[in-house]
Amino acid sequence: MTAMNRLFLLAGLALLIAGCGNGGGSRDPAAAGQKVYRHSMDQAPVSIDPLQGATVYSNFVILNVYDTLYSYRYLARPYELTTNLATSMPQVSEDGLTYTISIRPGVHFVDDEAFPDGAGREVTADDFVYSMKRHFDPNFISQGAWVWQGRIRGLDEWKEAGSNYAVEIPGLKAIDPHTIQIVLNKPFPQLVHTLTMGFSAVVPREAVEHYGKEFSIRPVGSGPFRLERFDTARAVLVKNPRYRGEPVDLAALGYDASLHDGLGLEAIEGRTPPFVDRVDINFVTEDAARWNSFSKGNEIQFAKIPTEQFDAVLSSKTPPTMRPELVDRYNMLDLVAPEVIFNTFNMDFEEFGYSDDPEREARNHALRCAMVKAFDWEQRSERFYNGIAKIFPGIIPPAVPEYDPDMSRESVTRDLEAARKLLADAGWTPENLPELTYGVAASVKQRQLFEQFRGFMTEIGYPAEKIILKQYATFGDISKAWKLSQLPFITKSWGLDYPDAENVLQLYYGPNGSPGSNDANFANAEYDRLYEQSAVMQPGLERTTIYRKMNQILVDSCVSMMGLSRTNLLMWHDDVIAYPDRNIVGGFWLKYVDLREQSGS
Amino acid sequence: MELLQYAIRKLVSGIPLILGVTFISFVLMVYFGPDKTYELLGKNPTQEQIEQVRHQLGYDRPFLVRYGDYLRELTTLDFGHSDSTGERVNGLLGRTIPISLALTAPGFVLGNLLGVLLALVAAYHRGGWIDKLIMGGAVVGMSISFLIAIIAFQLLFSSSYGLNMFPVRGWDVYSLSDYVRYVTVPTLATVFVALGYNTRFYRAVIVEEMTRDHVRTARAFGTPPWKLLYKNILKNSLIPIITRIMFSIPLVVISGSLLIESYFGIPGVGKVTYDAITTGDQPVLKAVVGLTAVLFVLTLLLTDILYKVVDPRVSLK
C-alpha cells in the first residue's frame, strides 16, 4: 500500500468514526436497566426557547424542561387549571386587575455550566419577571408577545423606553423572592391560562446570556426533565434528579375510574414523578415510517394513527373501535382536536366583502351565503378526515365550554337549491361572478382540497375557470400573503391556545385586522362591542351568552365557511401507563408516564 | 513543483466560479426564496413587530452589503447562527455532515464498485444473455423511484411485516456492530437504485474501450479474460469513471440524502439542508451553497490530479 493510499484510507476511517459518534449520549440506556419511554411526534420542533414556543411540537418539549406557574390537571375533562410552580391559584384583587402569585421555594434549575459554579440555583420570582420581559425585548424574536401585548401595566412602555432590564415595570414585579405581582391594564380573565403556555416558562438569565442564540437548543430549566440531545430526528430527555416531584394524588389529577379504567394509571398513585429515566421523542414526519416503527414492538411506543392505517386498526369508525386482535397489545384514544378548520373570505376585497355601494354589499352577502351553503362539510370530513371529524356551526369548537351543541346547523348543512336561489335573486350569473383566488401552501393534499372546493362551487354554477389556485412554496410565503391581505379567500386552521372561546372569537375582532390575526378583516361594530364587553368578564353564563351572540353574528354575515375539528386517533403500547392527550394540556402529562415491568427494552 | 503550480493555478481560476455561484444563489435566496419573517412572527403581529423581525434577520440592509458579508463569512468560514434554531452553522454542519457521510459512504462505494464489476461482466458478454440479464436488472433499478425502494426495503428488512432484522429508525451508533445495524438497509436501498444508473453508464464506457485496437490485439495474443478486463480495458476506462465518481462526491458530502434520513430517522445534513431551503434559513443555505462550490473547485483539482495518476500521458500544464 502506497503512502497516498494509506492517507486516503485513514481519512475515510476518520470520517466514518466521526459519523458514528452521536453527540455525547450513552450506550443503550434500556439495556442498562433504565426506564425509557419512546414517544413520537409528526413534526420536529425548531426551537426550544420559550420565546419561540408557538407550535405544539416546541411547546411539548418546553413544558417538560421548563416550569410554568400553572398547568392543567392531567386527567380532568373539561380542562381544569391547576398549580405547577405556583403554590396556589392567584389572589386576584376585587377589580380583577392585580394578581398576586406565590411560587414554591426550594425549586432549582438543573445544573449547568451557565451558572457560576455549575450548580443550578434556586428559581425566584425575578426569573419569572425576566422571562416575561424577554418577550418585549427587541433584541429577541418572540412569537408569544401578542398574548400579553397591551395587557400588563407598563410592559409595552418598558419596551418603547428601550427594554432596560434594570427598570422596574409597575405591572410586573417580584415583591419578594417567592412572590410575583401582575397588574393589568384592564381585566384579562384568560391570564392564568396564558401562564400555562410554554411562552410563560421560567428561564434563568445566566443561561440566556451564556448561550446567546444557542439558548434555543440548550434549555436550562427546572422542569421534570433535562434535555440531553436535540436534532432533526429526535429529542432525548433525561430525568431531572432535582425535580420537586410531589406524590401523585389521582383524584386531584382528575382520575375517573369509569373513563380511565384499564390504562393502568392506578399504579402511579402515591408515587413521585417523573417515573421514567429517559424519554426519546422521535420526530417522524412520514406516516409509513412512523407506523412501521410503532408496530415493530421495540421502537416507538406511541403514535398518531396514519389515515391509511385506519382500516387495519379499526373495526368501526363511529365510535372509533380498535380491532379485537389489537386490544391486548395496544391502547387507543380518540380525541377531538381543540381547533377550528375553516375557510374565510377576506372582507377587504370588494369582489366578495365590504363595498361602499350598499347594493353591491348586499349582493356580496348573498354570494358569500350561497357559497357557504354550497360547501359540503360532510364530504370534506369523509374524504380527508376518515368521516370522523367533528363538524360544527360557527367558530366556537366543541373543545371549549362555551360551545353550543344546540346551535342551528343550517350553516354547515349543504343546500344547493337555496344556494342557487340566493345567487339568482341577487343577480349573479356565471358571467358576472367574480374570480376567486384560492391560496394554499403547495402540497398534494392542498391541491386535492382545492379541487374538492372547486367541485362544490361548480355545482351552484360557479365557473371552474373563475376559481383559481394560487400556490405558495412555503408556509412562510402564504403567511405573508395573509398578513399583507393579498388573498381574497383563505383556508386556515387555528389551534386553540387555551380552552376559552375568546381565543377564536378574537380572530374576527376589528382591531386585529391584517397583519393581525383577523385575516378576514371582518369589521362589525356590534361584534367588536360585544368582544370588548366580554373580554373583561369572568367565565359564566352571561359571558357565554355574549360569546354565542358573536358566533351568530359571524354565521349570519357568511364571512366564513366554518367549521371542523379533526378527530385524532392515538395509539400506545400496552406496557405504557399513560393518558397521552396533548390537547391543551400540552406536554405536561409526560412526567406521569410509567412503564410496566416487562417494558423499557 | 509542476503539481503545486498547477494546483495554485487551478485554485485561483476557481475563484470566479465560486463568486458566480454564490452571487447567483444569493440573488435567488434574497429575491425568490421564502421570507423567514412570517415564520418567526407570532399569531397576531403588529406592523412594528414585522419590521423588528426583518431588522433582526438583516432583511432591511442593502443587497450588496449582505453579499459582502456572505463573502466575508465564506473566507472566514464563520456563517453565524441558523435563523431557525439559533445553532451555530459551523456546529450544525460539523455535527451532521459526518453522519451523512457515514450513512451514504457504503452505498456510494458499493454502488460504484458493483456497478463497475457488473459493467465489466456485461460488456465482456455483450449481446449475450448475461449482458441482457444485467442490463434488464439495471433498467428495473432505474425505473423504481428511490422513495419506493426505501419504503419497500424498510418494510421488507426492518418492519414486523417483513424480516424484522434491522431497526426502522435511529442512529445510536457506539460500535461497528451498531453501525452495521443502522446502515445496512439504507445502503441496500441506495445500492439498489444507484446500481442501475452506474452499471449502464460504466458498461457504455467499457464497451467503447473494448472496440479499441489494443484490446483486439491482446485478445489475439490469448490474454486471459480477467487480465484483459482489468489491465487492458478497465485501466484505460478510468478517466470517465473517475469523472463520474468525483463529481458525485460534493453532493454526497454536503447534501446527504434527505429521503434516507427522513425515513430512517437519521440526523444528517440532508434534512438540515432541506429545512433550510423550505424555510429560508439563509445562514445555513449560504454555508451549504458556498461550501459546495468550494468543494467542487477542489474536486476539479483532485480529478485532474487523478487523471494524471491513472494516465501518465495527461499533462497538468
In this structure, what CATH number is given to the domain that contains residue B122?
Answer: 1.10.3720.10
Same domain, A61 and A124: yes
Same domain, A230 and A366: no
Query: Cβ of B53 under 8 Å from any chain A Cβ?
Result: yes
Same domain, A376 and A489: yes
Contact pairs from chain A to chain B, CB under 8 Å: 185
The answer to the question of residue A334 being in a domain is no
The answer to the question of residue B230 being in a domain is yes
The answer to the question of residue B74 being in a domain is no
| Beta carbons of B264 and A289 less than 8 Å apart | yes
Same domain, A446 and A375: yes
The answer to the question of residue A312 being in a domain is no
What pLDDT is attached to residue B257?
83
Q: Between A601 and B202, name the one with better pLDDT.
A: B202
Contact in structure between A540 and A501 (CB atoms under 8 Å):
no
Structural domain of B250:
94-310
Kindly report, residue by residue over A150-193, the tens digit of the pLDDT: 999 999 999 999 999 999 999 999 999 999 999 999 999 999 99
CATH code, domain with A438: 3.10.105.10
| Beta carbons of A47 and B85 less than 8 Å apart | yes
Same domain, A196 and A120: yes
The answer to the question of residue A302 being in a domain is no
Residue A438: its H or E element: strand A436-441
Same domain, A162 and A134: yes
Contact in structure between A75 and A211 (CB atoms under 8 Å):
no
The answer to the question of residue B223 being in a domain is yes
Residue A494: its H or E element: strand A489-495
The mean pLDDT value of chain B amounts to 91
The answer to the question of residue B85 being in a domain is no
pLDDT band of residue B255 (cuts 50, 70, 90) is low
pLDDT band of residue A8 (cuts 50, 70, 90) is very low
Q: What is the mean pLDDT of residues A110-127?
A: 96
Kindly report, residue by residue over B134-169, the tens digit of the pLDDT: 999 999 989 999 999 999 999 999 999 999 999 999
| Beta carbons of B174 and A282 less than 8 Å apart | no
Kindly report, residue by residue over A19-42, the tens digit of the pLDDT: 555 544 446 676 678 899 999 999
The answer to the question of residue A347 being in a domain is yes
- Domains of chain B: total: 1
| Beta carbons of B271 and A232 less than 8 Å apart | yes
Contact in structure between A289 and B168 (CB atoms under 8 Å):
yes
SS3 per residue for A373-414: HHCCHHHHHHHHCCCCCEECCCCCCCCCCCCCCCCCCHHHCC
pTM as predicted: 0.90
- Other C-beta atoms closer than 10 Å to the C-beta of B57 total 18
- Domains of chain A: total: 2
Q: Which residues contact A548 (CB under 8 A, 6 or more apart)?
A: A396, A402, A404, A407
The answer to the question of residue A3 being in a domain is no
Structural domain of A184:
22-279+575-595
CB nearest to B102's CB, from A16, A286, A477? A16
ipTM (interface predicted TM):
0.87
Which chain A residues are closer than 8 Å to B170 by Cβ?
Answer: 233-234, 299
The answer to the question of residue A119 being in a domain is yes
List the beta bridge partners of residue A547.
Answer: none
Residue A6 has pLDDT above 70, yes or no: no
The answer to the question of residue B47 being in a domain is no
Kindly report, residue by residue over A555-591, the tens digit of the pLDDT: 999 999 999 999 999 999 999 999 999 888 888 999 9
Nearest C-alpha of chain A: how many angstroms from B281? Answer: 11
Which chain A residues are closer than 8 Å to B44 by Cβ?
Answer: 146, 149, 506, 512, 516-517
Query: Cβ of B282 under 8 Å from any chain A Cβ?
Result: no
Which chain A residues are closer than 8 Å to B47 by Cβ?
Answer: 515
Same domain, A99 and A80: yes
The answer to the question of residue B41 being in a domain is no
| Beta carbons of B87 and A142 less than 8 Å apart | no
pLDDT band of residue A204 (cuts 50, 70, 90) is very high
Quick one: what percent of chain B has pLDDT higher than 70?
99
User: Helices (H) and strands (E) in chain B — how many of each?
Assistant: 14, 0
| Beta carbons of B86 and A214 less than 8 Å apart | yes
The answer to the question of residue B63 being in a domain is no
